[in-house]
Structure 1
Amino acid sequence: MTMKGLFITATGTEIGKTLVTAALTHQLRQAGHVVGAIKPIISGITEGEMEGTDTAIIASAMGQGLDEATLDTISPFRYKAPLAPSMAASLEGKVLDYNLLIETCRKVIDHPVFTLVEGVGGAFVPLTDDKLVADWIGDLDLSAIIVAGSYLGTLSHIISTLEAMQARGLDVRGIVVSESTGDTPDFDDTLAEIRHWTKLPVIGIPRLHGAEPWQQAPDLTGLVELDPPAV
């Protein structure tokens, strides 16, 4: 069955969600698919200084410049403090409008274009006083992939996140492991352990370098079910 979209979530923050979103967007476009990608919520940004941000990376992967219209399409909910949305919004005297978030996402994913939706932080980060990222995934009725690091302790974080998501009835398509920096366990051994314990497809992304590292990522398209592109 063709998927209408896929949610990119993680075991925590600053792990590699945007790298995965950009890589998968780029790879699907290279394969001839029409793809959209959004990161509706972004925190830790200053208006007017968007170059190098996650939003700019996603725009680049879609072959777009970052004008005001593109910025508002990819990341309409923007906050200055690098905190969970519930906390970042509160510092600005705001409350994230969860219903508007869902409505905004649905307007994109209900079009006949496969859409990647990148979350914020991990799968259980608070969005409001009573909604988590996991609620967001469920209310959009999208399958998800979990992005994780390869640091010592990641196996516990992955299993905890996966089991908590599955307990909510969320469909997890696979796990992408972005190699962590520093003194970490053997990368291949870590991937093998994750496969053993999760029984899911697991793809490892080694440390990448260069201006647009997402162009060098291993093939992630096996996590997506799409009809062949029209010739």
Structure 2
Amino acid sequence: MAHDSPTLDLLERLAAAPDRMTVDALCRQMGLPEPLVRGRLAQLVARGWVEVDADGVTYTIGVGALRPMSAFLSADRTARLAGPILGRLSDQLDESVRLVRLDGTEIVCLAARESAHDTGSPVVGRRFPAISAASGRAILARRDHTEVEAIIAAGVAAHTADSVVDRAELYAALADCRERGVAYERGELVPGVGCIAAAVRVDGLLVTDAISCGVPLARLTHDHADDVAAGVRRAADDLAAALLA
């Protein structure tokens, strides 16, 4: 794949990297010669898709990369309709809320409303393993068993000491979601943070999206968890109704 589309591969690697990358690192990861990588980087820098530091040594994704994401979100009806619903939910709960979509084995955040006391980094566009995220589980609980089995069989990584990786426990979590209508996750992706999510279910359509709310465990009391669960269920139902209108 890298040899067929080195430009796209470069963009994807820079977008996924937690820090700036050198040409040497990119060459090693992609298995491509340095002149080719430098040539593609120069083209991307000229168009604003990639940024290079003042010394010309390290590279990162550029502001130009926002153009296709902005165009996608503007064109996506679900993301547009979710905006005011997420706003109301965030105000009601005083917590940060998200709209996410399943993409292969991952979920990607399409829209978010941050609470005033949330100090985390922006999450729109960020990806997480679907089977470990409450929002991913909310979606996968409504998907075909063979799809879920393939994701679990590929291996489930432990992100924190509280991550669930056992097959039986993961299936139990999905069954619990189907029974309750919401999925729960406590510190499995981010230490000290829990998440509650509900799938957006539209009759006759494949479930692809969910609305979630992340809460520091210190605030996630039993009563607050009940409020959050009721809120995300109501918001997911509201979005489903809006999509049918």
Q: Same fold (TM over 0.5)?
A: no
Higher RCO (CA < 8 A, seq sep 6+): 1
Greater share of helix residues, 1 or 2?
Answer: 2
TM-score, scaled to structure 1? 0.28
TM-score, scaled to structure 2? 0.27
